Amino acid sequence: MLLARLRAEVVGVGRRLLQTGLVVGTSGNVSARDPETGYIAISPSGMEYDRIEADDVPVVDGQGRRVEGRRRPSTELPTHLLVYRHRADVGAVVHTHSTYATVLAVLGWSLPPILGEAAAVLGGEVRVAEYATTGTEQLGRYTVEALEGRQAALLRNHGAIAVGRDLREALQAAWVLESTARVYWAARVAGSPLLLPPDEVMRVRQGYLAHYGQRPGGSGPRSVEGVRTSP
Ligand SMILES: [Zn+2]
């Protein structure tokens, strides 16, 4: 089986999302890009996460053509493809409709840097992407725009997207996004949240990137901030 390990990891992340309540039923989707071939393993359309096995995970090329697998790829494939095309630093994408991130997305509130951990992992203020119909290329373009220099974005009237160099990092970003959105929502309801100063956001972000680059199995420091999206 082509990309057996990566496809098994996509299954594992889907189950973790289900267990931690970030997805319900068949909502959301997960993908990872193989650095050698550039092929993308993406969760199949319309299957519950606890029923998916590795061979249910289709493998597509950078144009979205199916290379292996009998299932149809997630309907959000166009957004995943555009994110990979515009972000060389991204090796995995996690899309959820997690509750508090979606609450902010429905309110049209971006998520400012309020906690050090979130600023480190997400890269600063998490923007809200313009609305476009699910499954369209336009949603992908708006998502790429909102994601610039960040590891997460909110999708207006829809949900959230988190990215990382690998699945582990994308999953972490999805968790941090949801828990911080929950804190922010409660803080906004209760009063006026205090924000971290910009120099502190930069300091914790750089510390995180330096640490992340050195983790075992990593291939050395890589710039996430420095990667710009092309038009
Ligand atoms: Zn969605």
List CB contacts of 38: < 8 A, sequence separation 6 or more: 61, 62
For residue range 10-39, list pLDDT tens digits in order: 999 999 999 999 999 889 999 999 999 999
For ligand 1, the distance from its centroid to the CA atom of residue 216, given in whole angstroms, is: 33
Contact 67, 118 (CB under 8 A): no
The per-residue pLDDT for 214 is 55
Least confident stretch, 97-101, 171-175, 223-227 = 223-227
Question: Please, what is the Cα angle at 116 between 202 and 208, to 5 degrees?
Answer: 60
Contact 150, 86 (CB under 8 A): no
Mean pLDDT, the chain, integer: 92
Rounded Cα distance between 101 and 161, Å, is 9
Architecture of domain 4-213: 3-Layer(aba) Sandwich (3.40)
Spot the catalytic one: 36, 53, 68, 76: 76
Rounded Cα distance between 22 and 35, Å, is 27
For residue range 92-151, list pLDDT tens digits in order: 999 999 999 999 999 999 999 999 999 999 999 999 999 999 999 999 999 999 999 999
Assign 216 a pLDDT band (cuts: 50, 70, 90): very low
Q: Does pLDDT of 222 surpass 50?
A: no
For ligand 1, the distance from its centroid to the CA atom of residue 28, given in whole angstroms, is: 5
Rounded Cα distance between 96 and 10, Å, is 14
Q: Does pLDDT of 165 surpass 80?
A: yes
What are 33's two structure tokens? 């890009």
Rounded Cα distance between 206 and 217, Å, is 20
Catalytic annotation on 137?
no
> Mean pLDDT, to the nearest integer, of 206-230?
53
For ligand 1, the distance from its centroid to the CA atom of residue 74, given in whole angstroms, is: 10
Assign 193 a pLDDT band (cuts: 50, 70, 90): very high
Assign 69 a pLDDT band (cuts: 50, 70, 90): very high
Looking up tokens 């999953």 gives: 171
Higher pLDDT, 60 or 26: 60
> Mean pLDDT, to the nearest integer, of 35-44?
97
The per-residue pLDDT for 230 is 32
For ligand 1, the distance from its centroid to the CA atom of residue 90, given in whole angstroms, is: 19
The per-residue pLDDT for 219 is 41
Spell out the domain ranges in the chain: 4-213
Which DSSP string corresponds to the chain?
-TTHHHHHHHHHHHHHHHHTTS--TT-SEEEEE-TTT--EEEPBTT--GGG--GGGS-EE-TT--EEE-SSPB-TTHHHHHHHHHH-TT--EEEEE--HHHHHHHHHT--B---SHHHHHHH-SPBPEEPP--TTSHHHHHHHHHHHTT-SEEEETTTEEEEEESSHHHHHHHHHHHHHHHHHHHHHHHHS-PPPPPHHHHHHHHHHHHHHHHTSTT--S---STT-----
The per-residue pLDDT for 215 is 52
Q: Does pLDDT of 218 surpass 60?
A: no
